[in-house]
Chain A
Amino acid sequence: DAKTTQPPSMDCAEGRAANLPCNHSTISGNEYVYWYRQIHSQGPQYIIHGLKNNETNEMASLIITEDRKSSTLILPHATLRDTAVYYCIVSRRAGNMLTFGGGTRLMVKP
């Protein structure tokens, strides 16, 4: 599975959009990009995933660059409850044997 690089931490003002970047320059053609988040003392929670097209669901949007070497997770209106560690994962496996890495600790501030 391709390695991902994320900033260790980010801040965001409540109500503003949170844009979380992820670099995956060694991604291969059949590898998906997955995003999970982990709120303190809880298990990880699935957010969204994609292959090459941009994706949107009720939680977030995923923007993948045309060369697929990077992606951005967008939380359109961050709330205090979005404070969590966000993991960007790249995997060719359709199952859930996921390699989490260090993630980005997002702090949403009032």
Chain B
Amino acid sequence: GAGVSQSPRYKVAKRGQDVALRCDPISGHVSLFWYQQALGQGPEFLTYFQNEAQLDKSGLPSDRFFAERPEGSVSTLKIQRTQQEDSAVYLCASSLEGGWQGYTEAFFGQGTRLTVV
């Protein structure tokens, strides 16, 4: 597609419910990132994939958060037993480069706004 696509755009979950957020990166992009953005704050890094390998998950706030990218393309961020503090916009980004040399810009999706009630 032309850009990074995220679905759904909005999700309302009852506390304790499991949710799955989808990210379709730009075709051919090796790297994929998930960020969490609370209201009025800057985005915070959650996790990073290079193809299907999850190379960094240091930003995941708890073991209720799980991300996967099984075929190196589409990624899913899953949150189990959602809590009110999980309410935020979840942003996905992809970039072309796959290594640690040089820089290629990150392209962000519009995000999924999750509200836990």
Interface size class of A (residues with CB under 8 A): 20 to 34
A93 on the B face (CB < 8 A): yes
A95, B97: Cα distance in complex, Å: 8
Q: Using known A-B contacts A96-B33, A96-B93, determine if residue A43 contacts B101 with beta carbons closer than 8 Å.
A: no
Chain B, interface size category, equals 20 to 34
Contact at A43–B109, with CB atoms within 8 Å?
yes
Interface residues of A in 79-110 (CB under 8 A from B): 85, 87, 93-103
A-B contact count, CB below 8 Å?
58
Whether, in the assembled complex, A68 has its beta carbon less than 8 Å from a beta carbon of chain B, the answer is no
Given A43-B108, A46-B105, A95-B31, are A100 and B42 also a contact pair (CB < 8 Å)?
yes
For A93, the chain B residues whose CB sits under 8 A away are 100
**Shortest Cβ gap from A5 to chain B (Å):** 13
Which residue from A44, A98, A102, A103 sits with its C-beta under 8 Å from B45?
A98
CB-nearest residue of chain A relative to B41?
A102
Asked if B43 CB lies within 8 Å of chain A CBs, one says yes
Which of B33-68 touch A at CB < 8 Å? Answer: 33, 41-45, 48, 56
User: Which residues on A sit within 8 Å (CB–CB) of B106?
Assistant: 44, 46, 96, 98
Report whether A42 and B110 are in contact in the complex, using a CB–CB cutoff of 8 Å: yes
